[in-house]
Amino acid sequence: MTIDIYFFPPSPPCRAVMMLGRYIGVHFNVKTVNVLKGDQFKPSFKKLNPQHTIPTIEDNGFVLWESRSIMVYLVMKFAKNDSLYPKDPEKRGLVEQRLYFDMGTLFHNIGSYYGPVLLGLADQPPEQLLEPLERSFSVLDIYLQDSDFLVGNGLTVADFSIVSSVCTAKAVGFDIGRYDNVAQWYERCKKAMSKCGFEDVNEAGANIFGGFYKANLKS
């Protein structure tokens, strides 16, 4: 069965869902929502999703948004095993914690720091928000000090979510090389996700995002 996905290529959450879906063999019918042109505010889309956010999926009449919820849903319904979203309470608890860390801390701080320039509201990022962003990466580096991936030595949905955030930061000029564990993990993800769109979905979309940002940045 094909699932409709409302998608915008530069969006980190959209990229995470697309890669995860490809990884587990989900076939998407892509419907582009250009948020820069206000497509998300069209009545037809707001009727589907009153929060008018992307990504949004529609699976045989079931509508869901919020990328991390979508990824969990897709894995629970379509994955061949539970490795990406473990049933073990402790492992699942760690996956959930990493997802919430991404949503509430890492992705949030990336958006807060780079967003004003991206949206044309400023010509330089707010200097006072650099420290929280760097602290987020320091915490992420600690998460990765004893394992290949974010929860153990295999991919989980947390890796798909967070690598899209990190890829975005990298594309706008953040130096992830200062964080050894993060940089090594990023390369492992790139290899492990190579057949599900790491380059043509994740990095390509992030580079579009980076281009928007750099076009508005004043030296």
Which residues form the catalytic set? 11
Q: Compute the distance between CA of residue 219 and CA of residue 212 in angstroms, rounded to an integer.
A: 15
Phi, then psi, of 57 in degrees rounded to 5: -120, 155
Residue (of 128, 133, 120, 109) closest to 217 by Cα position: 120
Sheet hosting strand 27-32, strand order edge to edge: 27-32, 2-7, 56-59, 62-65
Contact 206, 171 (CB under 8 A): yes
Q: Compute the distance between CA of residue 33 and CA of residue 51 in angstroms, rounded to an integer.
A: 14
Task: Tell me the CB-side half-sphere exposure of residue 36, using CA atoms within 13 A.
Answer: 11
Residue (of 96, 23, 14) closest to 57 by Cα position: 14
Q: Compute the distance between CA of residue 71 and CA of residue 157 in angstroms, rounded to an integer.
A: 7
